[in-house]
Chains A and B, each alone.
Chain A
Amino acid sequence: MEGELTLVARKACFGLPTACPSCLPVYIYLKFVQLPFSLDFNVIHPDSDQIPYVESGTYVAYNNEKGGVIESLKEDGIVDLDSEVCSVPEWISTKAMVSSWLADALMYELWVGSDGSSAHKIYYSDLPWPIGKFLYFKQVRIAKQLLGITKENVDRREEEIYRRATIAYEALSTRLGDQSYFFDRPTSLDAVFLGHALFTLQAFPETSILRGKLLEHSNLVRYADKLKLEFVEGGSSSSTPPLHADPSSSFSRRAGSKPKSKPKREKTEEEKKFKRRAKYFLVTQLVAVLVFMSLLGGSDDAEVELEDDDDLSYE
């Protein structure tokens, strides 16, 4: 381990050191290892899938590569908490369950099943309103596609997602019993589940179904509370002090000044893109109409509607 590690994550919120479902487990994992690291916030790229990432000198482990930051850190021999359990089938399958069924349920509540206020706070509150709104709707669409939700099956999919989450919580609760960790000592499974649990308990509103389901399992809630006090405590005293969490303090200033200049650039880029797309849009609309007419040239109902446009069908 040469040099200090820096974790670049999304900003703090809801009393969590970082209120993003993919950043929080990494933060907790590094805390479990008791490795000193500094926390830095990136507020200008809310939709980047590279965040969170861990930097140390020239080394970088991105979220969207090699199975995520935690897997990269393990593989590259930087921090590995799982060496003893990684061949235990139950550990692997439990982790698979948390990172698929529970992650899906959380994604559903955050983007589809709620009014989006939590998502907005976490991802877009530092961006100008229209851009934030645009990115939010884009993300909602992506989340729906990932979850396989269409207009027709939305109710059935919701039922299925909650059903799986319920089964998963039950299995985890039985597995945990009265232990402090799922497999005797902290592993990446604990980091991933603790991240999920803290986010579900603190970032979702009282009305959240997922939160209600988790609260039914008192040993899981106790587990989350206990580990939070032990490892995450620093960030929970209030919502602003993202940086009490770690020793170095230089980040508090950066987080404030950076976002103001960058979103400007984002905006003009957005505008440029819009202008460019405007042309494409017009051209494709025309082409579409032309192609369609030439294809349906002989069809009766098309002709009735389009008599005066006749010349177009020569194409």
Chain B
Amino acid sequence: MDEQGGEITLVARKPCFGLPTACPSCLPVYIYLKFAQYPFTLVFNLIRPDSDQIPYVESGTYVAYNNEKGGVIESLKEDGIVDLDFEVHSIPECVSTKAMVNSWLADALMYELWVASDGSSAHKIYYSDLPWPIGKFLYFKQIRIMKQVLGITKANADRREEEIYKRATIAYGALSTRLGDQSFFVENRPTSLDAVFLGHALLTLQALPETSVLRSKLLEYSNLVRYADKLKMEFVETSSSSPIPTFPAYPSSSFSKPGGASSWSSKPKSKPKREKTEEERKFKRRAKYFLVTQLVAVVVFISLLGGSDEAEIELEDNDDDLNYDL
């Protein structure tokens, strides 16, 4: 446990919906460390909701980021810090099942969080500590990125939705058959596959609204739900005494009041300020670029279409002063 010298710190997004961290990429890492019974401290980063470096694990000078080397869990395995998959990593089925959870199910969860819902869950998880306009702006930006990643356009939205849910249904069916009555997916002991799927299942069951299609599909498989409940009791809830009390991430009390982020209200207040001025500075700087590029665009366009009649009619009076600016 001490092989790395110093304790491990997991930096994640904040708790919500009765989960120690309510972010789809942070929860599996949290569960993985719990599975390994590795002591760690949980710290929350509230000011960079759109950073893809989160979650990361720190220990002294060592850092494993989410967006490097296949994610935190893979980095921890590769760097020999915590490896639960040592005996199973060559089993093809283990690899392919993880691929399925990481692609088909991850896509479905992403779709529900960002595209199919009213965004209230996503807003709670990512943006509730930011000033309203910035949160809103980042939210819409993220929706656009998610749609692009899922290949959703206006023309194919319905077809893509159908396909995403279809794949999720197939995946749940396969996982349910595979799991049967076992406690874990592989050889009766926890692996990174369990961490990834348990993270997905808990988020789907607790963070998505009652009306969620994905949630109801998962609820159809009682053995998967039992599995999630059991492991949650064992690894996510009962262990709440061990982490340092500064992070009452999920003590049973904060469950009762879902908005239980009260203990965070002091931290977030100072940090978003800094974010805001940065944002403002960025905005000012961009303002100049924006103006210049707009002017260049118009001038280039006019000069290209110089002979075209429609263009001249519209722009006669602007023609001269615009050119001076360059």
Residues on the A chain within 8 Å of B314, using CB: 282-283, 286
Within 8 A of B (CB), among A164-183: 164, 167-168, 170-172, 174-175
Whether, in the assembled complex, B170 has its beta carbon less than 8 Å from a beta carbon of chain A, the answer is yes
Contact A296 B175 (CB under 8 A): no
Whether, in the assembled complex, A84 has its beta carbon less than 8 Å from a beta carbon of chain B, the answer is no
Whether, in the assembled complex, B131 has its beta carbon less than 8 Å from a beta carbon of chain A, the answer is no
Contact B294 A94 (CB under 8 A): no
Contact A282 B301 (CB under 8 A): yes
In this complex, what residue of B is CB-closest to A86? Answer: B170
The answer for the CA separation of A170 and B311 in the assembled complex, in Å, is 60
Whether, in the assembled complex, B242 has its beta carbon less than 8 Å from a beta carbon of chain A, the answer is no
Residues on the B chain within 8 Å of A156, using CB: 67-68
- Quick one: given A94-B92, A171-B95, A282-B298, are A146 and B288 in contact (CB under 8 Å)? no
Contact B174 A92 (CB under 8 A): yes
Tell me the minimal C-beta distance from B246 to chain A in angstroms: 32
Whether, in the assembled complex, A207 has its beta carbon less than 8 Å from a beta carbon of chain B, the answer is no
In this complex, what residue of B is CB-closest to A309? Answer: B321
Contact B99 A97 (CB under 8 A): yes
Tell me the minimal C-beta distance from A280 to chain B in angstroms: 12
Within 8 A of B (CB), among A27-70: 49, 64-67
Q: Is the interface of A mostly helix, strand, loop or mixed?
A: helix
The answer for the CA separation of A195 and B291 in the assembled complex, in Å, is 50
Contact A285 B301 (CB under 8 A): yes
Whether, in the assembled complex, A96 has its beta carbon less than 8 Å from a beta carbon of chain B, the answer is yes
Interface size range on B against A: 35 or more
In this complex, what residue of A is CB-closest to B290? Answer: A292
Contact A282 B288 (CB under 8 A): no
- Quick one: given A94-B92, A305-B288, are A148 and B70 in contact (CB under 8 Å)? no
Contact A285 B298 (CB under 8 A): yes
Size of chain A's interface in residues, with CB distance under 8 A?
A: 52
Residues on the A chain within 8 Å of B288, using CB: 301, 305
Tell me the minimal C-beta distance from B325 to chain A in angstroms: 7
Residues on the A chain within 8 Å of B298, using CB: 282, 285-286, 289
Residues on the A chain within 8 Å of B151, using CB: 142, 146
Q: Which of A67, A146, A171, A278 is B92 in contact with, Cβ under 8 Å?
A: A171
Residues on the A chain within 8 Å of B284, using CB: 299, 301
Contact B171 A92 (CB under 8 A): yes
The answer for the CA separation of A87 and B174 in the assembled complex, in Å, is 7
Contact B92 A302 (CB under 8 A): no
The answer for the CA separation of A289 and B321 in the assembled complex, in Å, is 14
- Quick one: given A146-B148, A292-B291, are A97 and B95 in contact (CB under 8 Å)? yes
Whether, in the assembled complex, A131 has its beta carbon less than 8 Å from a beta carbon of chain B, the answer is no
Contact A100 B104 (CB under 8 A): yes
Contact A281 B287 (CB under 8 A): no
Tell me the minimal C-beta distance from A172 to chain B in angstroms: 7
- Quick one: given A92-B100, A101-B103, A292-B291, are A159 and B69 in contact (CB under 8 Å)? yes
Tell me the minimal C-beta distance from A146 to chain B in angstroms: 5
Whether, in the assembled complex, B162 has its beta carbon less than 8 Å from a beta carbon of chain A, the answer is yes
- Quick one: given A145-B148, A278-B311, A285-B298, are A168 and B95 in contact (CB under 8 Å)? yes
Within 8 A of B (CB), among A126-184: 142, 145-148, 153, 156, 159-160, 163-164, 167-168, 170-172, 174-175
Interface centre among A145, A163, A279, by most chain B C-beta atoms within 10 angstroms, is A145
Whether, in the assembled complex, A308 has its beta carbon less than 8 Å from a beta carbon of chain B, the answer is yes
Whether, in the assembled complex, A90 has its beta carbon less than 8 Å from a beta carbon of chain B, the answer is yes
Whether, in the assembled complex, A89 has its beta carbon less than 8 Å from a beta carbon of chain B, the answer is yes
Within 8 A of B (CB), among A257-281: 278-279, 281
- Quick one: given A164-B99, A279-B310, A285-B301, are A93 and B294 in contact (CB under 8 Å)? no
Q: Which of A96, A145, A159, A302 is B96 in contact with, Cβ under 8 Å?
A: A96
Whether, in the assembled complex, B233 has its beta carbon less than 8 Å from a beta carbon of chain A, the answer is no
Contact B96 A49 (CB under 8 A): no
Tell me the minimal C-beta distance from A190 to chain B in angstroms: 15
Residues on the B chain within 8 Å of A90, using CB: 92-93, 96-97, 178
Within 8 A of B (CB), among A184-201: none
Tell me the minimal C-beta distance from B252 to chain A in angstroms: 35
Q: Which of A87, A163, A174, A175 is B70 in contact with, Cβ under 8 Å?
A: A163
The answer for the CA separation of A64 and B301 in the assembled complex, in Å, is 38
Query: Contacts A64-B159, A286-B318 given; 5 further ones with Cβ under 8 A?
Result: A66-B162, A96-B96, A97-B99, A172-B92, A306-B291
A-B contact pairs, 11 of them (CB 8 A): A89-B97, A90-B92, A90-B93, A92-B100, A96-B167, A156-B68, A163-B69, A171-B96, A172-B92, A282-B301, A285-B294
A residues apposed to B, CB below 8 Å? 49, 64-67, 87-90, 92-94, 96-97, 100-101, 142, 145-148, 153, 156, 159-160, 163-164, 167-168, 170-172, 174-175, 278-279, 281-283, 285-286, 288-289, 292, 296, 299, 301-302, 305-306, 308-309
The 7 A-B residue pairs with the shortest CB-CB distance, nearest first, are: A100-B103, A96-B100, A97-B99, A145-B148, A89-B178, A171-B95, A92-B174
